[in-house]
Amino acid sequence: MKNLLIASTSTVHGSGYLAYLLPTLKAFFSQSETILFIPYARPGGISYNKYTEIAAKAFAKIDKKVVGIHQFSNPKEAIKNAQGIFTGGGNTFELVNQLYKNNVLLTLKQTLENGTPYLGTSAGSNICGVTMMNTNDMPIVYPPSFNTMSLIPFNINAHYLDPIEGSTHMGETRETRIKEYHVFNETSVLGLREGSWLEVKNEKITLRGNLTARLFQQNENPIELESGVEVKNMK
């Protein structure tokens, strides 16, 4: 059994950290008194302690405690014993690098397959896919592999952005980049716009939030999925 929330972003424009998700998180983590936070992605290079404080401040609003995985001498045990787990956003390369370096990627995967509730935002969502190959992040460190947890049978493109009409910029759009990916890879990609998330209950994956999401499958035209639909039959 799996019990995951895979969110495009921690924060939507004009509101506080995790604010738009708090009502959902209150129900989702109803059985978890304390949340284990994985701060490895370090947005802006922030320290693990400071990042954990930010997460703790948000979760305090729904009466949850937060502890950082770096506060444990044995991170594997910390994951296995957690009542709930949250991996925040930042740089996906560094997040994946640290998950390998600390040798906890497989432990995290197995723990989540056994039902521990998990929230991922941005980079923390990317790692739920088959690989991290659809991150938008800069390759600022070289991780041992791009393979991630395969908790869902496709990849996530977090903070999905539609092409900007009338743009004079010649750099590739997000859609072009994902098309390039599909020249070399079969796995589908779900472009999750800011404010969208996936709810994963066992093998059932449902799109939540107010927006549609854009699904990219190899050799097919992208399609828009409506909020509330089940995401399935994915290559």
Q: Is 159 a catalytic residue?
A: yes
Hunting for tokens 């999925």 — which residue is that? 225
Candidate list 26, 80, 101, 182; residue touching its own copies; CB under 8 A: 182
Under rule CB under 8 A, residue 186 binds its own copies? no
- Pull the structure tokens for residue 158: 């977090």
Rounded (5°) CA angle 46-40-5: 110
Question: What x-and-dash track marks residues 199-228 binding its own copies by CB under 8 A?
Answer: ------------------------------
Nearest to 225 by CA among 191, 181, 186: 191
In the complex with its own copies, which residue's Cβ is closer, 2 or 174? 174
Asked about 70 being catalytic, the answer comes back as no
Which member of 122, 125, 188, 196 is catalytic?
122
CB-nearer residue toward its own copies: 169 or 233: 169
Q: Which helix (H) or strand (E) holds 6?
A: strand 3-7
Contact 136, 156 (CB under 8 A): no
The reply on whether position 179 binds its own copies by CB under 8 A is: yes
Q: Closest Cα partner for 2 from 84, 105, 118, 107?
A: 118
Which helix H or strand E contains 107, and what residues bound it?
Answer: helix 105-113
From 168, 210, 219, 233, residue interacting with its own copies (rule: CB under 8 A):
168
Tokens of 54: 């930010």
- Among 145, 201, 222, 229, the residue binding its own copies under the rule CB under 8 A is 145
Catalytic one of 32, 159, 188, 196 = 159
Size of residue set near its own copies by CB under 8 A:
46
Contacts of 25 (CB under 8 A, 6+ apart): 5, 18, 59, 62, 119
Site for its own copies, rule CB under 8 A: 9-14, 42-45, 90-91, 93-94, 132-142, 145-146, 158-159, 161, 168-172, 176-185, 194
- Annotated catalytic sites, by residue? 122, 137, 159
